[in-house]
């Protein structure tokens, strides 16, 4: 039987999974049972399983002939149409992908307090079949129940509702129950040391937010607006949340910003921020995006990559709507404007691709997909659009979908023929930029922003800056023409002040005192930019600038602290008795016990000051094998420059 035919031959219904995760050896062993119904007669079916060992493969109570080819477990039997079967087996694997063991091989004196020991999974694009015999074809949807046995000192979170904790001698077995089917790539677990707090949605869904114990003060700023956005999306989408609960867990060195596993979003701990960090780098958009996926991607799932925008475009668009409910209309239109500029730039620099090309870029799937929905809503009207989306989800819930399925629902409700719309917005190789800008001009906020052009209207720039125009428009003026900046402009809001900090790399003496106030701004980006610019422009004041900023860490990537340590080392006569301490701290930041974002900053600064010693060099070599590909690529490039 060919691999492509299986989805029409067999329907796997339920999976009962019992796994023992052993981080010290990076292995997983387990016992799995699958119940399935045959749709056709056949002599063999398969379960995806990469580099696994199997024992006691049974069909019911009887030994089953099976064959393991290293990628699939083949089950051989005279399977009969309309018959129900149960297969069970023990398995063992050392996952090469999809499950990541973080920190278990790190034991260094003096830094044990920062070592994060975690296990987490990432199935999309990497395939759950690397750690669990399952199904790479997302058209195969199964009701999975997971039981995970692990060291009793750790929290274990998985899809579904926790129905029981079984306490053993040194371990706990966590039993999680799912009630509805999902694709295997959405299976997930996260293991680590966490605290948590909970809220309940308006519809009664438990919302649980996990955080590291040391991040207790960052939990509320990080998860700000979670319940508001959950309630908004349920009402806006018109389809109740389909799963028993919703949980969110930050992890170290995650591969992406976040992943929408069914009822369990795993996201990068780089988004854990305090109230100051929230201004510049918050979790709200990622939070809303992964939450929207619980409907678009998890409840209804693409048939294939050709229809990937049905997941990413919808999640991007509905995240924008959720953010609009929190931050207002101007934010919504501003983000759409930014998306349009990115899409225009992509079309200018690359060969265009259709939204229905499975090889299109993330920018196309996410941002052009969001634009499609924005314009479609305008075309058919908000009421018809909303009803069509609700109907689409009701008809195809727990199923797989194509683009035509959605378009047909919109045509039914609106009575419009969308053939021309599909041709222009989905099938064309380039983004309809001019049409998008016409749509945006319905916003006075965008009209105002477009009107401001200091490269042409230099004489009017001072008038613009002193008027009541938006901070975005003021920032545009400042970045286009820094010469127009006046002292009173320093009294603007955080975003405008940030633009001034970035625009004035050479600081006029008359602005020195005003610019120095940026060192205490409510923005870690502004503080970082201001510190390096002031240190460069006014050498005699370097000690004072370092004293003012010595206790500031910055974001989770320690952006301000790593810069501060570097400048402290470079500054003549500054804290001479502590120079070695500062150097050691900077070297430590290159070690694998820290997140890759911190390590990247530390490597960059140490290379800048030509101070990467033996320990730094060893850490850089280790970084070339890191599981986050863009970080390992960065490390390889840095090493190549040494030769």
- Taking the C-alpha atoms of residue 440 and residue 455, their distance in angstroms, rounded to an integer, is 22
Asked if residue 108 has pLDDT above 90, the reply is no
Asked if residue 3 has pLDDT above 50, the reply is no
Structure tokens at 303: 């048939």
* DSSP calls for 148-180: EEEETTSEEEESSEEEEEEE-SSEEEEEEE--S
Structure tokens at 141: 């949807």
Helix/strand/coil for 253: coil
Angle at 116 between CA 112 and CA 118, to 5 degrees: 140
- Give buried/exposed letters for 18-51 (b at 16+ CB in 10 A, else e): bbbbbbeebbbbbbbebbbebeeebebbbbbbbe
- Give buried/exposed letters for 496-516 (b at 16+ CB in 10 A, else e): bbbbbbbbbeebeeebeebbb
Q: Which of 252, 240, 237 has its CA nearest to residue 101?
A: 252
The strand pairing partners of 44, in sequence order, are 76
- Taking the C-alpha atoms of residue 586 and residue 572, their distance in angstroms, rounded to an integer, is 18
Annotate 60-91 with three-state secondary structure. CCEECEEEECCCEEEEEEEECCCCEEEEEEEE
Cβ distance 524 to 556 under 8 Å? no
Cβ distance 541 to 573 under 8 Å? no
Measured in degrees and rounded to the nearest 5, phi and psi for residue 202 equal: -55, -30
Residue 107 burial by Cβ neighbours in a 10 Å radius (0-12, 13-18, 19+): exposed
In eight-state DSSP terms, residue 340 is H
- Report pLDDT digits (tens) over 545-589: 999 999 999 999 999 999 999 999 999 999 999 999 999 999 999
**pLDDT of res. 469:** 86
- Taking the C-alpha atoms of residue 474 and residue 492, their distance in angstroms, rounded to an integer, is 9
- How far lies 467's CA from each of 328, 438, 464, in Å? 21, 25, 5
- Taking the C-alpha atoms of residue 412 and residue 388, their distance in angstroms, rounded to an integer, is 8
Percent of the chain with pLDDT over 90: 91
CATH architecture for the domain at 303-445: Orthogonal Bundle (1.10)
- Report pLDDT digits (tens) over 10-65: 999 999 999 999 999 999 999 999 999 999 999 999 999 999 999 999 999 999 99
Structure tokens at 595: 């997140």
- Alpha-carbon torsion, ordered 347, 351, 356, 357, to 10 deg: -150
- Report pLDDT digits (tens) over 332-362: 999 999 999 999 999 999 888 999 999 999 9
- Taking the C-alpha atoms of residue 487 and residue 630, their distance in angstroms, rounded to an integer, is 41
Structure tokens at 91: 């398995």
Looking at domain 1-95+126-182, does it have CATH number 2.60.40.1730?
A: yes
- Report pLDDT digits (tens) over 212-269: 999 999 999 999 999 999 999 999 999 999 999 999 999 999 999 999 999 999 999 9
- Taking the C-alpha atoms of residue 81 and residue 38, their distance in angstroms, rounded to an integer, is 5
Q: Which of 246, 245, 156 has its CA nearest to residue 193?
A: 156
Contacts of 164 (CB under 8 A, 6+ apart): 174, 175
State the residue for tokens 């003060």: 217
- Report pLDDT digits (tens) over 191-227: 999 999 999 999 999 999 999 999 999 999 999 999 9
Between strands 161-167 and 155-158, the pairing is unpaired
521-536 mean pLDDT: 97
What mean pLDDT value characterizes the chain?
95
Residue 111 pLDDT class (50, 70, 90 cuts): very low
Helix/strand/coil for 127: coil
Q: How many CB atoms lie within 10 A of CB 191?
A: 25
- Taking the C-alpha atoms of residue 643 and residue 620, their distance in angstroms, rounded to an integer, is 14
Residue 109 pLDDT class (50, 70, 90 cuts): very low
Cβ distance 500 to 527 under 8 Å? no
Contacts of 593 (CB under 8 A, 6+ apart): 103, 106, 108, 111, 114, 115, 116
- Report pLDDT digits (tens) over 469-508: 899 999 998 998 898 899 999 999 999 999 999 999 999 9
- How far lies 397's CA from each of 180, 188, 294, in Å? 10, 21, 11
Q: Which of 456, 502, 437, 451 has its CA nearest to residue 475?
A: 502
Return the domain boundaries, the chain: 1-95+126-182, 303-445
How many residues does this entry show for the chain?
Answer: 643
Residue 456 pLDDT class (50, 70, 90 cuts): low
Asked if residue 453 has pLDDT above 80, the reply is no
- Report pLDDT digits (tens) over 152-164: 999 999 999 999 9
Structure tokens at 342: 């990115």
């Amino acid at each position: 039987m060919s691999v492509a035919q299986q989805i029409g031959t067999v329907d796997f219904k339920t999976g009962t999974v019992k796994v023992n995760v052993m981080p010290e050896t990076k292995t997983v062993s387990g016992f799995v049972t699958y119940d399935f119904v045959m749709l056709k007669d056949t002599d063999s079916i398969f379960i995806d399983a990469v580099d696994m060992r199997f024992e006691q493969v049974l069909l019911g109570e009887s030994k089953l002939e099976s064959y393991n080819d290293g990628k699939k477990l083949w089950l051989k039997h005279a399977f009969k149409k309309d018959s129900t079967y149960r297969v069970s087996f023990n398995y063992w694997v050392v996952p090469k992908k999809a499950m990541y063991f973080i920190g278990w091989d790190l034991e260094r004196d003096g830094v044990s307090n920062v070592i994060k020991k975690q296990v987490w999974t990432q199935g999309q694009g990497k395939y759950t079949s690397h750690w669990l015999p399952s199904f790479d074809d997302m058209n195969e949807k199964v009701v999975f129940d997971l039981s995970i046995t692990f060291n009793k000192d750790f929290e274990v979170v998985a899809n579904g509702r926790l129905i029981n904790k079984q306490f053993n001698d040194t371990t706990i077995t966590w039993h999680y129950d799912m009630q509805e089917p999902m694709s295997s790539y959405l299976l997930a677990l996260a293991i680590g040391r966490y605290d948590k707090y909970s809220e309940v949605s308006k519809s009664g869904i438990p919302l649980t937010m996990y955080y590291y114990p040391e991040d207790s003060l960052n939990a509320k700023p990080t998860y700000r607006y979670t319940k508001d956005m959950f309630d908004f999306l349920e009402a806006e989408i018109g389809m109740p949340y389909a799963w028993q609960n919703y949980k969110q867990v930050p992890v170290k060195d995650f591969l992406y910003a976040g992943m929408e596993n069914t009822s369990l979003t795993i996201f990068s701990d780089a988004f854990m921020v305090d109230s100051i960090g929230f201004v510049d780098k918050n979790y709200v958009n990622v939070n809303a995006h992964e939450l929207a996926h619980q409907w678009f991607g998890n409840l209804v799932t693409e048939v294939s990559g050709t229809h990937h925008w049905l997941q990413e475009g919808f999640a991007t668009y509905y995240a924008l709507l959720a953010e609009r409910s929190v931050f207002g209309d101007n934010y919504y239109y501003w983000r759409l404007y930014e998306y349009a500029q990115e899409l225009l730039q992509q079309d200018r620099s690359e060969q265009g691709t259709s939204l229905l090309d499975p090889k299109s870029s993330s920018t196309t799937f996410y941002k052009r997909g969001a634009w499609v929905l924005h314009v479609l809503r305008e075309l058919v009207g908000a009421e018809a659009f909303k009803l069509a989306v609700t109907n689409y989800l009701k008809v195809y819930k727990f199923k797989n979908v194509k683009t035509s399925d959605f378009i047909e629902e919109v045509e039914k409700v609106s009575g419009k023929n969308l053939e021309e719309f599909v041709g222009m917005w989905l099938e064309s190789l380039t983004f309809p930029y001019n049409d998008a800008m016409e749509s945006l001009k319905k916003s006075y906020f965008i009209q105002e922003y477009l009107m401001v052009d200091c490269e042409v209207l230099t004489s009017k720039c001072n008038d613009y800056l002193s008027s009541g125009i938006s901070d975005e428009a003021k920032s545009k003026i400042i970045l286009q023409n820094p010469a127009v900046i006046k002292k009173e402009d320093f009294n603007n809001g955080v975003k405008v002040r940030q633009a001034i900090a970035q625009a004035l790399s050479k600081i006029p003496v008359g602005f020195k005192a005003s610019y120095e106030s940026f060192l205490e701004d409510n923005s870690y980006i502004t503080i970082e930019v201001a510190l390096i610019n002031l240190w460069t422009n006014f050498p005699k004041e370097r000690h004072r600038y370092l004293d003012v900023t010595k206790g500031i860490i910055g974001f989770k990537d320690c952006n301000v602290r790593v810069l501060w340590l570097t400048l402290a080392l470079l500054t003549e006569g500054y804290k001479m008795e502590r120079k070695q301490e500062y150097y050691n701290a900077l070297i430590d930041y290159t070690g694998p016990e820290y997140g890759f974002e911190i390590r990247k900053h530390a490597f960059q600064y140490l290379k800048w000051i030509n101070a990467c010693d033996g320990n730094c060099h060893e850490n850089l070599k280790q970084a070339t094998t890191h599981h986050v590909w863009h970080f390992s690529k960065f490390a390889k490039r840095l090493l190549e420059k040494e030769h």
